[in-house]
Amino acid sequence: MFNRAVALMDLPPGLEEKIRVCNATYTVRFGVRLRGQIQTFTGYRSVHSEHMEPVKGGIRYALGVNQDEVEALAALMTYKCALVEAPFGGSKGGLCLDPRQYEEYELEMITRRFAYELAKRDLIHPSQNVPAPDMGTGEREMSWIADQYARMNTTDINAKACVTGKPPHAGGIQGRTEATGRGVQYAIQEFFRHPSDKKKAGITGGLEGKTVVVQGLGNVGYHAAKFLSEEDGCKVIGIIERDGALVDPKGLNVEAVRNWIGKHGGVAGFADGKFVEDGSKVLEEECDILVPAALEGVINMGNAANIKAPLIVEAANGPVTAGADEILRDKGAVIIPDMYANAGGVTVSYFEWVKNLSHIRFGRMGRRQEEARHQLIVDELERLSAASEVGWELTPNFKEKYLRGAGELELVRSGLDDTMRTAYQACSKVWNERDDVTDLRTASYLVAIDKVATAYRAKGL
């Protein structure tokens, strides 16, 4: 995919190669005494590009983690950050283990030991390398990592900025957990604001009533499906999970399905909809929007030709293989690529990092002052109304809504929405204006690689 894009750019060959390769990958094997014996774990932290520092990217816990995967995902982080103008290079980490096989206290021991190994080599560091959650990790792991770093760096006043995705009570930011799913929603909303792009996918009308199939109801898929159905009027007609899928043309209640999975470990037995044992078949269901939000490579040479959705939104990293991408492009499907579609996570990570470095929550200084100014206008309107002969009334709720100054969550959502809109507009422009660019993925690569190349040039490389 990278090669396809750079072929359309006029980069010096040396620079092209410099950007393509991963700068460094650190492999660590460490032992933890568990259940009476020493268990050895293998972990990685790969740094793809340091054109900006710190470098940024999640840490995943999964059995399939390997060096190639971590390096590919680190590269994706470079382009993702460039695209949404988060001032970071790209990195990624992973630990080979199935977190469901361990007790919470065991996971804490493993995580702290892994964090120690990375931190002592500056692979966790507020100004060098800032991890975040990814598959199999979340707020809990991030707060262990932050604490481990703080114990090792007792005088570092910026210690909290060594990792993002922490819970709000441990230096996190409001809206980080929902951020990637929220970003997927904002990405789709922005796509729907571009009539010429909708036309390319053969989609008409607004988001209301559009049918959606989501693969994976984890953090990203759940939030995306929840917001699309509850706020935009979409119908989630299919949910694919580990043990099978649910299909209901009337639309599934995302919240209820999520609660069911929480209690029963899968979707089987859920009261509404039809249970389909071979979940992957539901990827091929007729729908308007297909949102793969879990694993890599779920849409591949084996099933791409059968995918019917005209719009595919890559909420996961790398859900469509390069071969499948070509088949889908030939069929005329539009793919909103991972580099853009799931960049909401790292965008809000950026806000969290800034918050940690500035040591103050967003909105703390201005909120009441903003409210006081709004109060002035409302008082004046009411005075004018009382003085006027006709008399007029404010719309119910207007006062309440207008008077309320923005808190941290509102500011985070506003910053995220702005970021997603601006990045989409840059990609859509290239897609629409260049005859040699026929898909959004290539357009996104062009925008992102150009920014990375500009940063390298400015450094004299």
189 or 317: whose CB is closer to ligand GLU?
A: 317
Asked if 427 touches ligand GLU (CB under 6 A), the answer is no
136 is a site residue for ligand GLU (CB under 6 A): no
Does 180 show up as a binding residue in the annotation? yes
Find the shortest distance in angstroms from Cβ 139 to ligand GLU: 12
Three-state SS across the chain? CHHHHHCCCCCCHHHHHHHHCCCEEEEEEEEEEECCEEEEEEEEEEEEECCCCCEEEEEEEECCCCHHHHHHHHHHHHHHHHHCCCCCEEEEEEEECCHHHCCHHHHHHHHHHHHHHHHCCCCCECCCEEEEECCCCCHHHHHHHHHHHHHHCCCCCCHHHHCCCCCHHHCCCCCCCCHHHHHHHHHHHHHHCCHHHHHHHCCCCCCCCCEEEEECCCHHHHHHHHHHHHHHCCEEEEEEECCEEEECCCCCCHHHHHHHHHHHCCCCCCCCCEEECCHHHHHHCCCCEEEECCCCCCECCCCHHHCCCCEEECCCCCCECHHHHHHHHHHCCEEECHHHHCCHHHHHHHHHHHHHHHCCCCCCCCHHHHHHHHHHHHHHHHHHHHHCCCCCCCCCCHHHHHHCCCCHHHHHHHHHHHHHHHHHHHHHHHHHHCCCCCCHHHHHHHHHHHHHHHHHHHCCC
The response to whether 219 counts as a known ligand-binding position is: yes
Binding flag, residue 164, ligand GLU (CB under 6 A): yes
Contact status: 28 vs ligand GLU (CB under 6 A): no
CB 366 within 8 A of CB 411: no
Sheet containing 37-49, strands listed edge to edge, beginning at the edge strand earlier in sequence = 24-34, 37-49, 89-96, 55-62, 129-133
Residue among 349, 419, 442, 444 that touches ligand GLU (CB under 6 A): 349
Which region among 342-350, 391-399, 401-409, 429-437 touches ligand GLU (by CB under 6 A)?
342-350
Exposure string over 13-49, b if 16+ CB within 10 A, otherwise e: eebbebbeebbebeebebebeeeeeeeebebbbbbbb
Closest distance between ligand GLU and the C-beta of residue 348, in Å? 7
**For the window 289-318, what string marks contact with ligand GLU as x by the rule CB under 6 A?**
----------------------------x-
Task: Report the residue number, 203 or 346, with the smaller CB distance to ligand GLU.
Answer: 346
Alpha-carbon gap, residue 68 to 318, rounded angstroms: 13
Answer yes or no: is 349 a known binding residue: yes
Using CB under 6 A, which of the segments 37-45, 50-58, 323-331, 443-451 binds ligand GLU? Answer: 50-58
Q: Is 235 annotated as a binding residue?
A: no
18 catalytically annotated: no
Position 134 contacts ligand GLU (CB under 6 A)? yes
- The answer to the question of residue 345 lying near ligand GLU (CB under 6 A) is yes
Determine if 235 is a binding residue for ligand GLU (CB under 6 A).
Answer: no
State the nearest-atom distance from the C-beta of 91 to ligand GLU, in Å. 8
Q: For residues 180 and 321, which CB has a smaller minimum distance to ligand GLU in the complex?
A: 180
CB of 289 to ligand GLU, least distance (A): 21
Q: Does residue 346 interact with ligand GLU by CB under 6 A?
A: yes
Q: Which of the residues 18, 92, 199, 451 is marked catalytic?
A: 92
Q: Are strands 244-247 and 274-276 parallel, antiparallel or unpaired?
A: antiparallel
Least distance between ligand GLU and beta carbon 99 (Å)? 15
Of residues 368 through 397, those in contact with ligand GLU by CB under 6 A are: none
Q: Please tell me whether residue 126 binds ligand GLU under the rule CB under 6 A.
A: no
Annotate each residue in 57-76 with x if it binds ligand GLU (CB under 6 A) or - if it does not, as one string.
xx------------------
- Could you say which residues in the range 168-187 bind ligand GLU, by CB under 6 A? none
Taking the C-alpha atoms of residue 188 and residue 213, their distance in angstroms, rounded to an integer, is 14
Q: Identify which range of 54-62, 358-366, 415-423, 449-457 contacts ligand GLU by CB under 6 A.
A: 54-62
Among 48, 56, 355, 367, binds ligand GLU (CB under 6 A): 56
Closer to ligand GLU by Cβ: residue 56 or 367: 56
Rounded Cα distance between 275 and 258, Å, is 15
Residue 132 makes contact with ligand GLU by CB under 6 A: yes
Residue nearest to ligand GLU (CB): 58
Residues 6+ apart with CB under 8 A from 262: none
**Stretch touching ligand GLU by CB under 6 A, among 102-110, 240-248, 290-298, 343-351:** 343-351
Which one, 118 or 132, has the nearer CB to ligand GLU? 132
Q: Which of residues 103-122 bind ligand GLU (CB under 6 A)?
A: none
By CB under 6 A, is residue 19 in contact with ligand GLU? no
Judge whether 210 is annotated as a binding position: no
Q: Binding site: residue ranges?
A: 56, 80, 180, 219, 349
Residues of this chain that bind ligand GLU (CB under 6 A) = 56-58, 80, 132, 134, 164, 317, 342, 345-346, 349
Residues recognised as catalytic: 92
